[in-house]
Amino acid sequence: MSEAATLLGFDLLSSTLVLSATAVGALLLLRLLRISSPAIHRGTWTLVLLQGWLIFRLTLPIPWYDPIPVSDAPHSGSGNGKLVDDAAAEPQPAELALPDQPSPAPADHSQPAETAQTKPSLSWAVFIVGIWIAGIVLTFAYWCAAYLSFVRQIQPLEPANEAEQAEWHDELLKQGIRSRIPLLISQRHGPLLSRLPQGNAVIVPRDLWRRLDEQARRAILRHELAHYCRGDIFKSLAIRVLLIPHWFNPLAWWVVRRFDEAAEWACDEAAIGGLHRKAPAYAQTLLEFESSAIRPQSLQPALQGNSLSRRIRRILAFSPNKESAMKKSLLALAAAVALTLNVVRLELVAQETPAEAQNAAAPDSALATQATKNAGAGKKPRPRELPQSVQRGIGYLYSQQNVDGSWKLEQGNGWDVGTSALCTFALLKCGIPPEEPHVAKSLKYLRRQKLDRTYEVSLQTLALCAAGQKGDLLLIQRNVKLLETAQFKNGPWKGCWSYRSEPNRFSPMGDNSNSEFAIWALDAAATAGANVDRKTWQRAYDYWRNSQLAAGGWSYTTTGKSATGSMTCSGIASLVICHRHLNTDKQLQLPDIDLMIEPSYQWMEQNFSVQRNPGTESWQLYYLMVLRRAGEEAEYRRFGDHDWYVVGDTYLTKVQGRESGAWKGAGHSEGPLVATAMSLLFLRDGPPKVTQN
């Protein structure tokens, strides 16, 4: 939950900053162009608040950089192998990846309170999001309480006398209004159009109302009827709904006041009927009401301070001239630019290479069986045919691929690059060669992305390493540097990773899910020939050792008190990987890795399951994916009496979609695309080459 809260807080902060900047820009533009039209003002402020709802953005790649030449790729590194020249050769990198999901932290979004006596610590992100939700509830409650208080305060109400009713009905007829809208007299409240429990009514203050002459009264009645004809009550309610997510932003409240003020401008124009000679008398009437009558502050911002001054200046300088077409065009252009800048994120990416263009032009194959033939058509044929369940899963991924080579989640949560990298990685690990048209398109898409989030950088690295093409090594090395920079260097999270490439920025804490993907990506990169700083391995090794719980498992964060299957398998694999990279230096005299992970083995033996993620009800198929990685890294074919591949294969074959070939995991985060890719990463081309425990 804390992971989702962190991303929600980041997106909310981004959107409210955009809203604030847009509000300031809109004010400057309206003043610069000297726009006087109330309708344009209201439309502008509505668009400003709508900007605050545009949380998710589209990425538009712009080909800019030169493609990475093969000769530029470095050939030295700390890994135990290099990227092969032959793209059809068997890749050697790390295996596991989790797609970036709607609930962004893949592993264990909810701490398993069911299996623990103590509750996990509450993160600051959850606390802040809780305050935000509480603010929304309190804002609604305040509005409701203010309305009920207003209804009580205006009592008692009495109907207008016969002469006042005659004036009122005459104005209703002139406006062509046939609805029954009563004119009610209060002690001091009004004038205003109000939606009472019985329906709409116009309320005026008794003493002041009866001191006015007929011309002044009729002008006020025309003003309130203009509110009714324009539907201002419902528009005012709608604009406050747009405000709600940004209740904490003073500029958002300021925009709402300007929206309401523009409504008053429009009704003032209706009150004076387009006759400038009536303006001074009407302005004097407003001043009398401001000093004597009572109007609800939450409903009437335009009779106080600077708002009243602006309103009276507009009345006295009233001109029926309309805005020029040039001004309207400039405003429309500015609105389009602001919307584009908020919704679309431009990214400079590498230009297309001739080889990529040739692959993209190749005809697509929509059948997974054809993919199996392609896999065996390389210079190094696969030793065994893909199982039927794997072929059907591959067929589903092919059917869901977009023209540009990407895969997009149904939820549209902004993590499509991570999802695309996961699907590409799964296809490659199932033995589909990088020359296969679907994979070639997806690799082309991934190479054009310039990423900075831990999940996406890690998954892109895993996919490129699995493709085994030497020309990608420069991009892989760039990703290594990003991940090394993103690792926490001090504090309680030293040695782990969070969501962003800059530690402590918008992600105040690290977690084991981001950390495992970073470790696996660095391992794959080192195997491919990239340079990985030894200090990075040491910090990660110390982190995984220190974050292990007393019972032998791992939780989502170091503050968690209960272990889960997915995080325990991630901990086993990550600790073994770090130990392997550090153990090349015999002077370190590291503890025996088998003894270090023995408690984890025992935890898995006691809690083993393939039908659920032990310790939590979420991320079931993610758990199976990392279960395979842990088994391979630690050379565990079994956990106790459980042959994890056999029982996992049986279960996945049973629950696979009969028609689609897709899988569906536990919860909304494991939708068909993500679940199918993770299932394929468990199944692949059969059992792992692990023969002993």
Residue 538 has pLDDT above 50, yes or no: yes
Dist. CA 55–CA 343, nearest whole Å: 8
C-alpha dihedral (306, 307, 309, 311), degrees to nearest 10? 160
CA nearest neighbour of 288 among 193, 211, 186? 211
Token pair 């898409």: residue: 445
pLDDT winner (highest mean) among 100-104, 203-207, 253-257, 665-669:
253-257
Strand partners, 203: 184, 192
Residue 118 has pLDDT above 70, yes or no: no
CB 522, CB 483: distance < 8 Å: yes
How would residue 296 be classed by pLDDT, with cut points 50, 70 and 90? Answer: low
How far CA 43 is from CA of 226, 255, 331, 342, in Å, comes to 18, 11, 10, 18
Kindly report the three-state secondary structure assignment for every residue of 123-179. CHHHHHHHHHHHHHHHHHHHHHHHHHHHHHHCCCCEECCHHHHHHHHHHHHHHCCCC
pTM recorded for the entire structure:
0.53
Residue 566 has pLDDT above 80, yes or no: yes
Q: Is 238 exposed, middle or buried (0-12, 13-18, 19+ CB in 10 A)?
A: middle
Dist. CA 394–CA 385, nearest whole Å: 13
Q: What is the pLDDT of residue 583?
A: 87
Q: Of 192-196, 555-559, 619-623, 688-692, which range is least confident?
A: 688-692
CA nearest neighbour of 311 among 281, 268, 248, 356? 268
Q: Of 314-328, 400-414, 644-658, which range is least confident?
A: 314-328
Dist. CA 340–CA 333, nearest whole Å: 10
Dist. CA 80–CA 668, nearest whole Å: 39
> Which residues does 524 contact at the CB level (< 8 Å), separation at least 6?
93, 94, 461, 462, 465, 466
Q: What is the pLDDT of residue 347?
A: 53
How would residue 128 be classed by pLDDT, with cut points 50, 70 and 90? Answer: confident
What does pLDDT average to over the chain? 79
* pLDDT 10s digits, 372-406: 444 444 334 444 578 899 999 999 999 999 999 99
96: tokens are: 């596991």
